Structure 1
Amino acid sequence: METASGFDRTMSDQPMRRYSNTRCHTEEVPSIPRENQMNLWDSKSLGPQERASTQPNQLENWKKRGRLISIIVASNIIIFGCTLVSGASFDGMNIHNNEVLIFLCILMLLSVQWMLFQLYFTFKYPSAVLYKDAHAGPIWMKAGLILFAAFTLVLDALKIGHYAGYNNCVSSVKLIFPLVEAVFVIVESCFLWVSCKHCVQIYHDITRCGLMFVLATNLALWMTAVTDESSHQTLELEKSLSGNDTTNTTLELRGESEFAEGCTCNSICQVFQTGYYYLYPLNIEYNLFAAPMVYIMWKNVGRLMDDTTFHQYHLRINFRKQCSFIGLTLGLAMLMTGLVVFTMYEIKKDHPEIKFHALTVFYIFQIVCLSLMSLGALAGSIIYRFDERVMDNRKNPSRTLDMALLLTASLGQYCISYYSIIAMVVISPKALLNILTLSYSLLLIVQHSIQNIFIIEGLHRQPPEDSHQGPISSPPINSENPVELICVRNNLPRHTFTNNPLSSISDDDEKPVTVQKELKGPANAHQTRRKILKEIYMFLLLANILFWIMPAFGARIRFDNELEVNFYGFSIWVIITNICLPFGIFYRMHAAASLLELFVVS
């Protein structure tokens, strides 16, 4: 007897027969393998919940296709922008700086239109954002974004003043570009401040492509700023080495100006130019702060998550509890001393009679600092071995991105250090400057490696308040019974104590006091470890800020010692440093941001 649904499932290898309810005839259906019969036929007899269970795979496949399309769009924009920017950096090519600025203006205007469109639809449709990622866009990252955005606006104002001082003999594109960039920075800062935690649930493909377009715009602006700053630094170095034999082959960089002949810049114009060159590092950091936040939004498009899955950690400023005296004192001492040494080095390096002394002092200071940072990170990693907090292996796009950026950015310093090590070994490391350069390069590799391990392992550890909960939520706790609360948080058996006050009185009255005394030792040890880790976090945070400031604002010690330049030649060494050094600068700022996060949630 056939089933009411009209399907014969008795023979898997014979043709299946579909029976009509109105006529007495059958029609042949091609033979279908048994593993596919459920997918094609039985889904019609499933209930709504069972049928919905077959949809996630289809949604996952479509999500991958949507991400692939957006990645292709972004990669083409980035590669085209990289080609255009690099081509405009050298003389002898028929690519002008104005063409690069026009391309960037188009990208920024399109990005502004899409961000306004996205904000409008997000507020218009309540169902557009049903979930938020608690880990995305922490308050310290938002504050850093706004700070660097403010400096970028100051830079744009200085650029306008600089180009306006040429008395209308420059292209209007150079005046329009800072205005467009200012609008883009304002809109993007507001957009990320409002939407960085959103898991958008409508227009998935349009949202993914739009976010990748904004990400590509930030990276194109970053490449342009890095190229401009590198060209400026290279021209200054070439001028200082012009009388030396170290300039074996000279790069023909286009430099700053493509102005018409006869254009002169007055004194105020020169002041504006000097000012905005010092603000380039802050503009670079703005784009590097915005790009990861946009990427996290892209990863969260269409993501379904429970608000209780992750605990959101707010930045609660409590100076009595949050402040770490020893780490703050040592970090500030290193920071202030480093700024003094850096300032004296910048003043003395241009005087040949005292240049060697300036290089020696600068090298020794950095070697001492790197040694202390390595010891601090190593001590923190050892403390992790005694930490009872469990590892948090849940899906977290923000943490995954932090790890990828740390490891990728550290490759820049690895490359420069290994190039320098090879040069020092071949040259024969007998002179004092050679020994200092070799030691400095080796310590950079060691410090980056230990610090990466320390930070990444810290990011994977649950905060103290969640460390004893594990993946399964804890059973209900009677908040009025402090002894029971202590037992649950320390994984002690709860059946020892009852919620019945009579039973607790009938037992030994000293029992709760005894338990509290027994728990006092482990609790104090745990608090001591937390305190030491907070001191290490604060010290490394300030130290990384110092090592960001020095190269970002002009310290080029690997050029000033002239050792690597003599070995590789000026043009080759310029290419190596201009490619690798921006990654090293970004690494320091990103490491500082990660250490701040660890300090706050610890």
Structure 2
Amino acid sequence: MGFAYLLYLIFDINRYKNVIQKNKKIKEFHQERISEYYRKREEFGTNGSDAHTPESYRSIGIPPAPLIPVNHDYCFSQGRHSGSIYLKIGAAGFALGHLVHSVLLITLQIKYFTDEDINNQDCIDLSQLVLDVINPLYAFMQLYFIFKYSNIIILRGQGFAYFGFMHMIGSSLCFWISTIVRETILALTLYANSKYGNSTYANETSLNDVTEYNDISRIFDVSNLYDEHCQGSATIISIIENLSPYLYPFSVEFNIFIVATYFIIWTHIGSCNNNADNIETDSSLYEKNSLCKIPTASEENDFTSNMVVYADCHASNKGLFVGLILIVLLLGMLIIGFVFSSVDENYLEMGYLLNNCTKLFMHTVMLIAAVIAYNQTIKLDINEHPMSLLDDVLLFICLPAFVMETVLSMVATISLQNIVKTVDFAVMLVCTNASYILDLVRFVQVIIQTTLLVDGLRRCSNSRSLRRTKPGRELHMFLIIANVGMWLFNTFSYKSPDRLDARYEYYGKVLWSILGHISLPLIMFYRFHSSVCFADIWVTAYRPGSEH
């Protein structure tokens, strides 16, 4: 349904634009003929004092341009989110990761299908294989539509458009949930294979770990996920096991982004304001109110490229360069973490501690920056007509993931390590249990940053002094880059063994695998969307409210 409707929209919008472009060419040719006519009259001395108006054209027998009648089916908006190159780059990145993840899943299914040792009837779901093939094609079409027509306003078939986009919103939400469920089942299947089978790709799970999981996860039975007749190639399964944790969040984030974009289009269906004052009266021989007039003043709005990029970087240079330094440090920590993970088993714990200390440092810096930025941002004027409902919804959707992960992580850490009774609290926080204070600092940082974003999206600069001084703009630029850096770090940081994570020890492999697969994509999406909101504030909060 969604695939067919997107195809229809793409072809119909192109048809509409082609007709409008043909009318523009006809109109230009008609104007050239009129200019040539008056030039000859002046050249041969004929009275050329007549005004060049449609009435004068009719009086001398010049017919209007024979434009092609066309209904006013579509408009193209230039709103705050409709043409953002930042959002398009994010969509392309999410789609790329989603497509790579889809290719891996297809490879896994095909490998199962061609493996002679696997019972195809019991181990392979052909409907799932077909869905895995169609899904990346549908995702690629969605990406094309977003890049090309994310600013579309649909006026034709509005009832069907409401139904079609709401259907695609619901489908994307279902894909979001199904991705989490499938990845959780895949992770638990790999765990079941290592626990009940003799898998060669489960070297990280020791006998002691299995015993701990047996004791802690008694209420969860994963034995039914193990089937000795459905054991595929160890090489392929190892690739899936190592890469899927990095890639599946892209699929979730891509579907969240699609839902947000479709919601914007859905809310703008039928809301095109075609000002009759900006329309020529000689637009067609078949002049009717139902026909789309060829615009003059609004012509640029209809056909301006959706990929125009420009930026005013005044009062942003310090934040930009400090943010770039932070990105370099993060990339260095990522590389060191992977080096520790590949050198020797003895360095795994050091890499895990380094990972937590890096996150603690980042969240502390971002917390300080958010507090200072908030004190600067409140100096700006309040925008009486903000457009931030969608941003608010996307931010608040992610907050429960932070609350859940913070509370559950602290419960596990306190219960297992008895932190409350530790005497040397300061040394313990910094050296041995950075994850405990990390949970607290991250939660506080997210709450303050969300408050800053919700407030900043409702600010503007109506006075010249505010537009000149731009209070807080340096920090907004820094927070843009810092949130992108945190998204990169959360996405590509080394996934440490389960035995180093107290949450796996306390809740068990099964339960924390389920909870982790739910919370991680939302935490990562929050960082990306926060950077989008800060970029929006960086641009619009320092303009007059009338320009929003």
Q: What TM-score results when the alignment is normalised by the length of structure 1? A: 0.61
- Distance across 2 between alignment mates of 1:253 and 1:592: 39
- Distance across 2 between alignment mates of 1:285 and 1:460: 25
Q: Relative to 1, partners in 2 of residues 1:459 and 1:385: Cα closer, same or farther, differing over 3 Å?
A: closer
| Aligned partner of residue 199 in structure 1, secondary structure | strand
1:559 Cα deviation after fit: 5.2
Cα offsets for 1:405-431 (capped at 9, x unmatched): 112202211221122234444533427
1:558 Cα deviation after fit: 11
1:594 aligns with 2:540: no
| Aligned partner of residue 127 in structure 1, secondary structure | coil
1:375 Cα deviation after fit: 0.8
Q: Relative to 1, partners in 2 of residues 1:306 and 1:450: Cα closer, same or farther, differing over 3 Å?
A: farther
Between structure 1 and structure 2, the one with the greater Rg is 1
| Aligned partner of residue 114 in structure 2, secondary structure | coil
> Match for 1:344 among 320, 324, 336?
336
Aligned to 2:410: 421
1:231 Cα deviation after fit: 4.2
> Match for 2:435 among 434, 437, 443?
437
Aligned to 1:368: 361
| Aligned partner of residue 72 in structure 2, secondary structure | helix
Aligned to 2:384: 393
Map 1:135-214 onto structure 2 (within 5 A): 135-137=80-82, 138-166=84-112, 168-169=114-115, 171=124, 172-173=126-127, 175-214=129-168
**Partner amino acid for 2:390?**
L
**Partner amino acid for 2:485?**
L
| Aligned partner of residue 279 in structure 1, secondary structure | helix
> Match for 2:401 among 399, 402, 412?
412
1:294 Cα deviation after fit: 0.5
1:285 aligns with 2:250: no
1:127 aligns with 2:79: no
**Partner amino acid for 1:186?**
F
Aligned 8 A contact 2:337 2:493 in 1: no
- Distance across 2 between alignment mates of 1:115 and 1:325: 41
Q: How many residues align?
A: 427
Aligned to 1:448: 446
- Distance across 2 between alignment mates of 1:373 and 1:230: 31
Cα offsets for 1:47-104 (capped at 9, x unmatched): xxxxxxxxxxxxxxxxxxxxxxxxxxxxxxxxxxxxxxxxxxxxxxxxxxxxxxxxxx
1:274 Cα deviation after fit: 5.2
Aligned 8 A contact 1:281 1:553 in 2: no
1:118 aligns with 2:63: no
1:529 Cα deviation after fit: 3.4
Aligned to 1:325: 317
- Distance across 1 between alignment mates of 2:189 and 2:399: 26
1:318 Cα deviation after fit: 5.3
Q: Relative to 1, partners in 2 of residues 1:373 and 1:357: Cα closer, same or farther, differing over 3 Å?
A: same
1:384 Cα deviation after fit: 1.6
- Distance across 2 between alignment mates of 1:140 and 1:529: 22
| Aligned partner of residue 153 in structure 2, secondary structure | strand
1:174 Cα deviation after fit: 5.1
Aligned to 2:458: 460
- Distance across 1 between alignment mates of 2:353 and 2:245: 27
Cα offsets for 1:331-360 (capped at 9, x unmatched): 223223223323433554686644443333
Aligned to 2:169: 215
Aligned 8 A contact 1:246 1:565 in 2: no
- Distance across 1 between alignment mates of 2:459 and 2:205: 49
Q: Relative to 1, partners in 2 of residues 1:193 and 1:256: Cα closer, same or farther, differing over 3 Å?
A: farther
| Aligned partner of residue 79 in structure 2, secondary structure | coil
Q: What is the percentage of aligned positions where both structures have the same residue?
A: 17
- Distance across 1 between alignment mates of 2:252 and 2:97: 10
1:401 Cα deviation after fit: 0.8
Aligned 8 A contact 2:406 2:443 in 1: yes
Q: Relative to 1, partners in 2 of residues 1:139 and 1:358: Cα closer, same or farther, differing over 3 Å?
A: closer
| Aligned partner of residue 386 in structure 1, secondary structure | coil
Aligned 8 A contact 1:111 1:213 in 2: yes
- Distance across 1 between alignment mates of 2:245 and 2:414: 36
- Distance across 2 between alignment mates of 1:150 and 1:580: 21
Map 1:4-19 onto structure 2 (within 5 A): none
Pick which of 350-359 and 336-345 moved more.
350-359
**Partner amino acid for 2:178?**
T
| Aligned partner of residue 470 in structure 2, secondary structure | helix
1:303 aligns with 2:294: no
Aligned 8 A contact 1:148 1:285 in 2: yes
Aligned 8 A contact 1:130 1:200 in 2: yes
Aligned 8 A contact 1:246 1:570 in 2: no
- Distance across 2 between alignment mates of 1:111 and 1:296: 17
**Partner amino acid for 1:411?**
P
1:374 Cα deviation after fit: 0.7
Aligned 8 A contact 1:412 1:581 in 2: yes
Aligned to 2:477: 538
| Aligned partner of residue 208 in structure 2, secondary structure | coil
**Partner amino acid for 1:142?**
K
1:198 Cα deviation after fit: 2.7
- Distance across 2 between alignment mates of 1:234 and 1:332: 39
**Partner amino acid for 1:447?**
Q
Aligned 8 A contact 1:165 1:266 in 2: no
Aligned to 2:205: 240
Cα offsets for 1:541-590 (capped at 9, x unmatched): 22222322333346567955443344444444333333222221221121
**Partner amino acid for 2:151?**
K
Aligned to 1:529: 470
Specify every segment of 5 or more residues in structure 2 that has no aligned partner in the other structure, as ranges. Answer: 17-69, 196-203, 276-296, 543-548
Cα offsets for 1:461-505 (capped at 9, x unmatched): 23x5xx34xxxxxxxxxxxxxxxxxxxxx4xxxxxxxxxxxxxxx
Specify every segment of 5 or more residues in structure 1 that has no aligned partner in the other structure, as ranges. Answer: 1-109, 469-489, 491-521
Pick which of 241-250 and 110-119 moved more.
241-250
- Distance across 1 between alignment mates of 2:250 and 2:510: 27
Cα offsets for 1:306-350 (capped at 9, x unmatched): 789xx999864458x469433233222322322332343355468
Aligned to 1:552: 491
Cα RMSD of the aligned pairs, angstroms, is: 3.8
Q: Relative to 1, partners in 2 of residues 1:183 and 1:254: Cα closer, same or farther, differing over 3 Å?
A: farther
Cα offsets for 1:136-166 (capped at 9, x unmatched): 4223212322343344334444444444444
Q: Relative to 1, partners in 2 of residues 1:129 and 1:317: Cα closer, same or farther, differing over 3 Å?
A: closer
1:575 aligns with 2:487: no
- Distance across 1 between alignment mates of 2:224 and 2:254: 23
**Structure showing greater relative contact order (alpha-carbon pairs closer than 8 Å, 6 or more residues apart):** 2
Q: Relative to 1, partners in 2 of residues 1:599 and 1:592: Cα closer, same or farther, differing over 3 Å?
A: same
Q: Relative to 1, partners in 2 of residues 1:296 and 1:546: Cα closer, same or farther, differing over 3 Å?
A: same
1:304 Cα deviation after fit: 5.3
Cα offsets for 1:499-539 (capped at 9, x unmatched): xxxxxxxxxxxxxxxxxxxxxxx47xx53435xx3332232
- Distance across 2 between alignment mates of 1:254 and 1:119: 48
1:232 Cα deviation after fit: 4.7
| Aligned partner of residue 382 in structure 2, secondary structure | coil
Q: Relative to 1, partners in 2 of residues 1:360 and 1:553: Cα closer, same or farther, differing over 3 Å?
A: closer
